[in-house]
Amino acid sequence: MKDYTMAPTVKFYFNGPILTMDSANNLAEAIITTGDTISAVGGYNTLLSSLPNNAEHIDLKGKTLMPAFIDPHGHFPDPGFIKLFRVNLAAHPLGDCNNLDTAFYRLLERCRTTPKGEWVMGAMFDNTAVEEKRMPTRTELDVISTEHPIWVMHASGHNGVANTLALAKYNITKDKPNPLGGRYDRDPITGELTGLIEGISAMGEMGDTDFLIDRGKFKQGFNECRNEYLQYGVTMAQNAWASKDMLGHFASVAKEGDPGIDIVVLPIGELEPELSTGIDTLNWPDNPHIALGPRKLFSDGSFQLKTAYLSEPYYNPNNENTESYGVPYNAPETLSAEVQKLHEMGFQIHCHANGDAGADLFLNAVDAALEAHPRDDHRHTIIHGQALREDQLQRMAMLGVTVSFFPAHIYFWGDRHYDTFLGPERAARISPAKSAEKYGIRYTIHNDASVTPTRPLHLAHCAVNRLTLTGRVLGEHQRVSALSALRAQTIDAAWQVFQEDRRGSLEKGKLADMIILSCNPLSCPEKIDTMKVLKTIRYGNEV
């Protein structure tokens, strides 16, 4: 329990660049924190003269002080779950599972140490990165075990493969019809299930990020993930797809007090209005560190699986599926009804839309909702928006819609966007942040952890330098400044979830959430990915 009889500690930071990220992007000479709050920002001599005798002097020794990073979109604490409870099947550069044989061996090893009848789950498998360029099959997983239900989830989170026992547990047979926006893959000759399940609607519970997680495992994964985020300078995280079970897990942690990191939790939009006003009304603990945020919707899938919904076909240079446009996850009228409902209830909406046709579905729905119920400063947000066109950005500016881009795709999958998914022209403008700036759209950038790991400096590097894994510059005209990339993960990230008055910049009265970097990103933007977070300071204390 906090001891309110003790005077708060006063700390004086000086002798290094201080990037405030305030509205004028001021550089300060010094900063004073009192307890968990920033009490003064300004010139060295002015602040020094106001210090109490017992103030702690912290010499930056030329290192850079700036606001701590904020995760604008991710799935905390999923990285902790993968590390502790799942079989990591990530291929290069995220891991070393570069072929199916390696994946099968790792799953077999886990089966050997798992009691019969218990689930074995593989995660982070990427069919576009392994040598065979395909997903496993049901029969291959059956060879590994018929006594364990096995589920291998794709790195994007938008499909997976189950063995026969796993399919049986969810009553998925060859005669089960495909749901809208999903598919149970079948052998074209025999009609038998291959084990591949595509789309959130088809995966059901197996597609949830809380799959196979109980209260005890949740707490372990939470602590593991928190420590990783803090190590890389992130003091506010996000869970952007919270089922009822996941909401219950977060509420259990919230009841215990300060969990060591702040979280914004986004309930699944379809849970409303029952979540707020119905029989399932959520009794959320009064805890400022874990707060409910926007409601989350989906309009389409992923590029790696070619289910992101496009207005023009996928590039497909080998003439494979030449008329593939991807798939919408909802009928237009269904998505529009969900947007209208949430908008009328006063919620902010975050909508996953990778492809430009997927973004059109959401923008049309927002347009209709605003026409029926005008509302200022709603900050409805497109998540990913990787294929946004110029006309869509103009429309977003008029509608007041913001966006969180995913520039890490440039590094991890940019070459495949260029060669296979989108082709050279469209690939050159994925995550078009510079165009968003042109239209005055305030945007953020994210890693979508665990799809790519939470590494804010590397993420900034991707947005600033736009280099693929092979060193190709992907869309030089869409490069943004280092300052813009840092703001997109600090003050603009706070703004995007209505927390700009509390955090995100180094200003008097705001939380003392800060990081100390090994050097100044503004001085050498081409080397941002080589910089280090030396210290993370949360609520005034080094963590």
Inter-axis angle of helices 332-344 and 356-372, to 10 degrees?
50
Counting every residue written for the chain, the total comes to 543
Euclidean distance between CA atoms 118 and 112, whole angstroms: 11
Cβ atoms of 356 and 311 within 8 Å: the answer is yes
The pair phi, psi for residue 321, each rounded to 5°, is 50, 55
Q: Give 67's strand partners.
A: 514
pLDDT beyond 70 at 2: no
Over residues 387-401, the mean pLDDT reads 98
Euclidean distance between CA atoms 73 and 293, whole angstroms: 12
Cβ atoms of 354 and 403 within 8 Å: the answer is no
Cβ atoms of 456 and 523 within 8 Å: the answer is no
- At position 260, the amino acid (one-letter code) is G
Over residues 424-433, the mean pLDDT reads 98
Residue 128 CA to its chain's centroid (Å): 21
Least-confidence region, from 133-137, 283-287, 480-484, 505-509: 283-287
- Given the structure tokens 């110029």, which residue do they identify? 390
Quick one: CA dihedral 136, 139, 140, 145, positive or negative? positive
Over residues 381-395, the mean pLDDT reads 98
- Given the structure tokens 């405030």, which residue do they identify? 20
Euclidean distance between CA atoms 303 and 326, whole angstroms: 8
Which pLDDT score is estimated for 109?
97
Among residues 542, 537, 541, which one has the least CA distance to residue 67?
A: 537
Inter-axis angle of helices 215-231 and 78-85, to 10 degrees?
110
Over residues 241-255, the mean pLDDT reads 94
* DSSP structural state of residue 178: P
Whole-model pTM: value is: 0.94
Q: What percent of the chain has pLDDT over 90?
A: 92
Helix, strand, or coil (residue 12): strand
Residue 300 CA to its chain's centroid (Å): 16
Cβ atoms of 105 and 128 within 8 Å: the answer is no
Q: What is the mean pLDDT of the chain?
A: 95
Among residues 16, 64, 70, 7, which one has the least CA distance to residue 39?
A: 7
Among residues 329, 381, 375, which one has the least CA distance to residue 351?
A: 381
Which pLDDT score is estimated for 34?
98
- Six token digits for residue 485: 């990339």
Radius of gyration of the chain (CA): 24
Over residues 364-378, the mean pLDDT reads 97
Least-confidence region, from 32-46, 173-187, 518-532: 173-187
Which pLDDT score is estimated for 318?
61
Read off the pLDDT band of 535 (50, 70, 90): very high
Residue 60 CA to its chain's centroid (Å): 31
- At position 89, the amino acid (one-letter code) is L
- Six token digits for residue 143: 């060879």
Euclidean distance between CA atoms 282 and 234, whole angstroms: 28
Alpha helices per DSSP H over 152-256: 164-169, 200-203, 215-231, 244-254
**40, HSE (Cβ side, Cα atoms, 13 Å):** 19
Read off the pLDDT band of 321 (50, 70, 90): low
Q: Give 381's strand partners.
A: 350, 402
Euclidean distance between CA atoms 96 and 106, whole angstroms: 11
Cβ atoms of 146 and 167 within 8 Å: the answer is no
Euclidean distance between CA atoms 374 and 110, whole angstroms: 54
Q: What percent of the chain has pLDDT over 70?
A: 97
pLDDT beyond 80 at 279: no
Euclidean distance between CA atoms 58 and 84, whole angstroms: 37
The pair phi, psi for residue 525, each rounded to 5°, is -60, -25
Q: What is the pLDDT of residues 182-228, one digit of tens each?
A: 899 999 999 999 999 998 889 988 987 677 999 999 999 999 999 99
Among residues 145, 36, 124, 142, which one has the least CA distance to residue 78?
A: 124
E strand or H helix at 404: strand 402-405
Among residues 76, 63, 72, 79, which one has the least CA distance to residue 515?
A: 63
Do β-strands 234-242 and 290-292 pair in parallel, antiparallel, or remain unpaired? Answer: unpaired
Which pLDDT score is estimated for 1?
45
- At position 218, the amino acid (one-letter code) is F
CA distances for 86 relative to 93, 106, 307, 452, 473, angstroms: 19, 11, 25, 16, 35
